[in-house]
Amino acid sequence: MDVSPEHLVAQARERFELQDYYGAIHLLEEVVASGRAFADAHHLLGLSYSLVGQQAQALAQLDRALALNARYVEALVHRAIVLNELGREAEADAAFRRAAQVGGESRQGLPAHVAAKLANQHAALGDAYDEAGALSQAIDQYHAALALGPAFHDLRYKLGRMLLHAGRALDARDHFEIIVRARPTYLDAAAMLGLACYLAGDGLGAKQVWEACRERRPEDPRVEAYLAMLARNDTGVAPVGAGDPASSDAPPPVGKGKGGKRKKP
């Protein structure tokens, strides 16, 4: 049975609260190996590594969390602590200053750290709705999360995938484009941008995105599968009867619409 990353992270949090840090690491490494880890998973994995004395691995995971969400105050603070333990005091001081700067900013009239916490709570509620099959409500919660944390690209990525599930390829494409502009090295988001273009009827755009992905990550079988699919389909429009974008490498079923009209939310 394919266990969702969210479920594995929830299990890891339980192990962490029981001070079973190695158990948390085992679960979180499984999430990371799946390629579907988000900032929260990397942050918790970094914190777990730190608590078992593996500071180099902790720093690497905290850096990955911040690459996905540069305004993650808790990750900034814990990164500063790890740097200090490694004897890199100047870098630790800079990280602490950055955390204080981000934490003191305001979003929607709320202190930044409060807004970030609320954004994550909206996302958690969205995950609960999604697991219950209430996709529309899940999307609403993720929109609320991004209103509080527009730079939380890990949450934006998850919203984009939900929108694809809902058949809203154009809306998903908008979100993946925002991520790729802000994080050009986030190749998973770029691959999903290509899929969103494809499902919106823009086969040429999808091809350009996926070819750029292949140049940067030639070993990725998912991108090769997408390009092979395009080569078999001269029109570039997704065939009826394809698979699920979030659970397989094939695109989901869509009709042969022009893709130029946005569906109403």
For 64-123, write each residue's pLDDT tens digit.
998 888 878 788 889 999 998 899 989 988 888 887 777 656 566 677 778 888 988 999
Query: Would the pLDDT of 184 be above 50?
Result: yes
Tell me the two tokens of residue 53.
């004395």
pLDDT band at 183 (very low <50, low <70, confident <90, very high): confident
Q: Which residue has the tokens 């939310």?
A: 265
Q: What CATH architecture applies to the domain 5-104?
A: Alpha Horseshoe (1.25)
Query: Would the pLDDT of 170 be above 90?
Result: yes
Alpha-carbon 113 to chain mean position: 20
Domain boundaries defined on the chain? 5-104, 106-151, 165-265
Quote the pLDDT of residue 257. Answer: 37
Quote the pLDDT of residue 42. Answer: 92
Report the run of H or E that residue 222 belongs to, with start and end: helix 221-232
Q: 104 or 16: whose pLDDT is higher? A: 16
Quote the pLDDT of residue 2. Answer: 54
* pLDDT one-digit tens code per residue, 219-247: 778 888 888 888 877 544 444 333 344 44
Query: Would the pLDDT of 190 be above 80?
Result: yes
Average pLDDT over the chain reads 81
Neighbours of 50 (CB within 10 A): 21
Tell me the two tokens of residue 242.
């394809």
Which of 42-51, 166-175, 224-233 is predicted with the least confidence, judged by mean pLDDT? 224-233
Q: For the chain, first and last CA: distance in Å?
A: 32
Percent of the chain with pLDDT over 90: 38
* pLDDT one-digit tens code per residue, 113-158: 788 889 889 998 999 999 999 999 999 999 999 998 888 888 999 9
Q: Which residue has the tokens 């807004």?
A: 115
b or e along 131-170 (b: 16 or more beta carbons within 10 Å of the residue's beta carbon)? Answer: eeeebeebbbbbebbbebbebbbbbbbbbbbbbbbbebbb
Q: Do domains 5-104 and 165-265 have the same CATH topology?
A: yes
* Domain at 165-265, CATH from 2.60.40, 1.25.40, 1.10.760, 1.10.10: 1.25.40
Average pLDDT over residues 194-217: 90
Query: Would the pLDDT of 258 be above 60?
Result: no
